[in-house]
């Protein structure tokens, strides 16, 4: 159909002309946005970690992701933010952490920003997971766990000072609880 073949839609009809001259139905269902983003900034102090982790978890819940994705993202965000507070700022009271969650069809991205000295988590040595527990150094599993539970982990330096860590997770719709558990 050519534009000159289109008939104008009379007022009150079930459609309206768009600015480009094409027709759109007024009674068509509204489309869900392709992505939704949320952002929070808090001081980089240990007492703010639960709020930062819960903020990211809320983004997971709003995306409709399943319980495993919720667990994995809570773990990863908790580890990254704790490392920023403990190692990045080393207790400096003036630093901050910003978290942005973006959900799209099938994917959730959590962007974590700080102004701490540049640190690339890819240079962290792999932990000893083969030795018996009593023979290995305690801790040092944080980044290992983050890489294990997320589908993508990226680090971007922000100039001479500051870091951006991008965590991505493929998500599916929340599954119904198992019979007898819900």
Domains of the chain: 35-170 (3.30.565.10)
Is residue 144 helix, strand or coil? helix
pLDDT (0 to 100) of residue 30: 37
pLDDT (0 to 100) of residue 34: 53
pLDDT tens string 20-73: 444 444 443 333 445 688 999 999 999 999 999 999 999 999 988 999 999 999
Please, which pLDDT band fits residue 174 given cuts at 50, 70 and 90? low
State the average pLDDT for the chain: 78
How far, in Å, CA of 127 to CA of 113, rounded? 25
pTM of the model: 0.73
């Amino acid at each position: 159909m050519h534009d000159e073949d289109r008939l104008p839609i009379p007022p009150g009809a079930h459609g309206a002309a768009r600015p480009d001259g094409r027709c759109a139905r007024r009674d068509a269902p509204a489309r869900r946005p392709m992505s939704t983003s949320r952002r929070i900034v808090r001081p980089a102090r240990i007492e703010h970690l639960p709020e930062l982790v819960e903020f990211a978890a809320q983004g997971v819940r709003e995306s409709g992701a399943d319980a495993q994705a919720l667990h994995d993202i809570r773990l990863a965000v908790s580890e990254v933010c704790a490392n920023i507070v403990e190692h990045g700022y080393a207790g400096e009271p003036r630093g901050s952490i910003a978290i942005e969650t973006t959900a799209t069809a099938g994917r959730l991205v959590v962007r974590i920003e700080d102004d701490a000295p540049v640190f690339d988590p890819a240079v962290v040595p792999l932990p000893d997971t083969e030795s018996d527990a009593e023979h290995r150094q305690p801790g040092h599993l944080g980044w290992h766990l983050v890489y294990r539970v997320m589908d993508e982990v990226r680090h971007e330096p922000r100039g001479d000072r500051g870091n951006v860590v991008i965590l991505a997770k493929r998500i599916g719709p929340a599954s119904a609880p198992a019979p007898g558990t819900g």
